[in-house]
């Protein structure tokens, strides 16, 4: 235990800001997960691996001398088609089966992706340098890498665009209708098959954006996907499906929680604390539900 974070108030400010910026990025990944979970009732274990694949696209652009920030445009386009391909090959066969089958299927995709990425890109840890510099606040006591600020900004931008698209466009309305009641939507002429494919594609595209941002802000490695899957799973569980402000809030909350856990418990418990929080929330939810049930009696 280390309470340095409370002894120096500036560290608390730093932790909060770091956490919020990080949380916004997590929220973007989680939003994709919530979307397809809500529409297709599929929990995508391969979510993190899609993120890493998106990161590699930005990394390769960087290798060929293109600024990796362009990755946030190129990566989602490529990933959208990757998503549709995965849907056509695997997901459409499990989409109306129970949750367990879809978890197994996406778990398989996750392993396959890890190995393929390892095979194709090698096991080295890589990163893309943006050379964005640093913002100093509060008399240089708080430092924020501009790459993190850029990530948060782009994440927010994509989230807003997506919300507008879901509200205004024909496909967006079809997706929302399918999420509410797939059968009714089908009867009313919505091509649910197309909606499912598009949803999976949009999710993969969001992962692509997030991956490009991660390659600029952190590092990527073929086996680094799982922590991102867990985080987004956790955010979705806290926020519920189809609740974008909730996802954003719980993403930022998780980011700040992680940062403080890092300072107080130590970096080694950072991911562990996320797991612990997940268990606590699930227990709490169950407890709340059982009380509700008592009233009903």
Partner 1 sequence: MKINKIIISFISAAVILLSTSVVSFAKVVGDKIVLGAAISLTGKYSSNGVHTQNGYNMAVDRINSMGGVKVGGKTYKFDIIYYDDESNPKRAAQLAERLISQDGVEFMLGPYSSGLTKAIAPVTEKYGVPMVEANGASRSLFTKGYKYLFAVLAPANLYLDVAIDLAVEKNNGKGVTVAMAFEQDAFSQDVRLGVLDAIKRTGSKKVIDDKLPKELNDMAATLVKVKQMKPDVLVVSGHTKGALTAIRQISEMKVDVPMLAMTHCDAAKLSKQHGKNSQYALCASQWHKTLTYKDDFFKDGMTYDADFTKEFGYAPPYQAAESSAALLVFKDAFERANSFDQKKVRDALAATNMQTFYGNIKFAEGGQNVDKPMVLFQVMCDDGGKCENKVVAPTKWASAKLIHPIPSWSER
Contact set with partner 1 (CB under 8 A):
4, 8, 11, 14-15, 18, 22, 115, 118-119, 122-127, 129, 134, 136, 143, 145, 147, 218-219, 221-224, 226-227, 259, 262-263, 266-272
Nearer Cβ to partner 1 (52/205) = 52
Minimum CB separation of residue 284 from partner 1 in Å reads 25
Q: Which is nearer to partner 1, 12 or 41 (CB)?
A: 12
Spatial CB neighbours of 73, under 8 Å, sequence gap ≥ 6: none
**Whether 79 contacts 202, CB under 8 Å:** no
- Smallest distance from partner 1 to CB 250, Å: 19
Interior angle at CA 103, CA 97 and CA 109, nearest 5: 110
Judged by CB, which is closer to partner 1: 102, or 147? 147
Number of neighbours of residue 106 by Cβ within 10 angstroms = 22
Residues contacting 101, CB < 8 A, separation 6+? 94
CB 83, min distance to partner 1, A = 24
Q: Least distance to partner 1 from the beta carbon of 112, Å? A: 13
Nearer to partner 1, 56 or 80 (CB): 56
Name the β-bridge partners of 134.
145
Least distance to partner 1, CB of residue 240, Å = 27
89-97 contacts at long range (C-beta below 8 A, 24 or more positions apart): 91/40, 91/42, 91/196, 91/200, 92/193, 92/196, 92/197, 94/42, 95/40, 95/41, 95/42, 95/196
E-assigned strands of 65-120?
none
Smaller CB separation from partner 1, 14 or 199: 14
Place of tokens 């665009």: 161
Q: Which of 235, 271, 220 is nearest to 28 (CA)?
A: 235
Rank residues 95 and 224 by Cβ distance to partner 1 and give the closer one.
224
Strand, coil or helix: what is 44? coil
Minimum Å gap between C-beta 234 and partner 1 is 15
Query: Which CB, 62 or 196, lies closer to partner 1?
Result: 62
How near is the Cβ of 76 to partner 1 at its closest, in Å? Answer: 21
Q: Which is nearer to partner 1, 22 or 198 (CB)?
A: 22
For 107-123, b/e burial (b = at least 16 CB within 10 A) is eebbeebbeebeeebee
The CA distance from 180 to 182, in Å, is 7
Q: How far is the CB of 9 from partner 1 (least distance, A)?
A: 11
Start-to-end CA span in the chain (Å): 45
């Amino acid at each position: 235990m280390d309470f340095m974070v409370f002894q120096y108030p500036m560290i608390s400010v730093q932790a909060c800001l770091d956490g919020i910026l990080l949380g916004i990025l997590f929220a973007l990944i989680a939003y994709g997960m919530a979307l397809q979970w809500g529409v297709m009732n599929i929990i995508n274990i391969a979510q993190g691996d899609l993120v890493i694949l998106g990161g590699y696209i930005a990394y390769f652009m960087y290798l060929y001398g293109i600024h990796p920030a362009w990755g946030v445009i190129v990566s989602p386009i490529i990933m959208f088609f990757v998503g549709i391909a995965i849907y056509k090959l695997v997901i459409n066969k499990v989409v109306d089966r129970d949750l367990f089958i879809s978890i197994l299927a996406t778990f398989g995709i996750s392993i396959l992706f890890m190995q393929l990425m390892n095979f194709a890109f090698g096991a080295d840890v890589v990163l893309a340098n943006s050379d964005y510099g640093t913002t100093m606040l509060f008399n240089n006591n708080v430092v924020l890498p501009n790459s993190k600020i850029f990530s948060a900004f782009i994440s927010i931008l994509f989230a807003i665009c997506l919300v507008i698209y879901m509200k205004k466009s024909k496909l967006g309305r079809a997706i929302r209708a399918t999420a509410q009641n797939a059968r009714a939507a089908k009867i009313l002429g919505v091509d649910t098959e197309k909606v499912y494919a598009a949803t999976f594609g949009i999710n993969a595209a969001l992962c692509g954006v997030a991956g490009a941002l991660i390659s600029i802000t952190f590092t990527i490695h073929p086996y680094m996907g799982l922590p991102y899957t867990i985080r987004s799973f956790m955010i979705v569980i806290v926020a519920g499906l189809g609740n974008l402000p909730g996802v954003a809030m719980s993403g930022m909350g998780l980011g700040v929680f992680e940062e403080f856990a890092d300072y107080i418990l130590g970096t080694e418990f950072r991911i562990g604390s996320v797991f612990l929080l997940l268990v606590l929330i699930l227990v709490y939810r169950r407890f709340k539900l059982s009380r509700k049930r008592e009233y009903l009696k």
